[in-house]
Structure 1
Amino acid sequence: MEAMWMRFNPLIQRIARDERFGEIREVRAAFGFHQPYDPAHRLWDPALGGGALLDLGVYPFALAQLLLGTPLDMQVTGSLGPSGVDAEASVQLAYPGDARAMLETSLLKPLSNTATVIGSGMTAEIDASFWAPRRIVLTRPGAEPEELHLEAGEDGYRGEVREVAGAVAEGRTESSIMPLDDTLAVMRRLEEARRRLGAR
């Protein structure tokens, strides 16, 4: 799943480990653009796994999984395209302690393609494209905003290659950065969201 290389981006890894967030209370993430309807296009063709959720929604869902884990409940609203695939979806995920994720994806309109992570001690604003950020701004009460920038030559793909090479060299069959259980959890949420919308 392509979205999973997001976890290997050094900036995403950094915010996932930063204890200054305290308790993460909310994750907001959106990915969308206008894709004119064409029944032969892969995004609109149910036989090709079309729809906003499977192609675009996986990125917001993957970020929420990384930072908040598996939700207790999910509320979904959205609409279907003429071919029966999901054209757009707004999803709210509920977690223990009243934490939440608010996720949005669309093939009908452009979205911000940014993300916000709100903790009890710090907030992160992740620039577009949030799944491959080059800049994140951290804000804390009583402190100047802190900008994090991706080093030249770095990205999620390079980090993923390093992780795979290390795993092969060490004889590991699973990454601690991207465990199989998290991939399956994301896919289950996506499939459930599609089911609730009645997508093909």
Structure 2
Amino acid sequence: MPGVAGQAGCVRQGLRPYGPDGGWTYGAGVLTGRAGARQDRFVPPSGESLEPASGAPRLLGAPEGDFQLLARVTVGFAAFDAGVLCLEVSGHQWAKLCLELSPDRPTVCTVVTRGHSDDANSFVVEGDSFWPRISRTGTAFAFHASADGEAWTFVRVFTLGTAAEAAAARVGFLAQSPTGEGCAVSFDRIAFRPRGLTNTRDGS
């Protein structure tokens, strides 16, 4: 994947910023960014418009073939804030795996947008850090989450876009603060694995 390589999680040149300026920096194995006030990437399912109400800072690259992208995310929660691993296949089709304060406890949440966004809470976690993972196996994407980066809990499996769009998907990192005045997000222990999963349900 351009920008992320190896089990050591070395972030290099190749990831591109999208959306508002997130002030992305990388050093000592930690990627940091910041969402501004009321920045989010979400299209309300009850709305008529297919455009997001606002944008959120993203840092994305386009890996080839099957992959797994994982990291430990830490969020400076102040409001309805989140640190996110995300993927995008087109301007109106994307998905997010979030550690989010939802509504008042840190929660693993997912959003899949096909024109309009859906929104689902998975489970509550303790503290301000957790491990999300995005994988692609063939044309299927899977979301898993972990307390330690070793044992993974299945969250969601889905397809998005055409086969060609799925193969060209951009994946990476996002910060959001939909209702707050902004939040800082950091990602460490980043790893990119150029292989898919044997079993999407148990995460192997």
Q: What TM-score, normalized by structure 1, do the two folds share?
A: 0.24
TM-score (normalised: structure 2)? 0.23
- 1 or 2, which has the higher strand percentage? 2
Higher Rg of the two aligned structures: 1
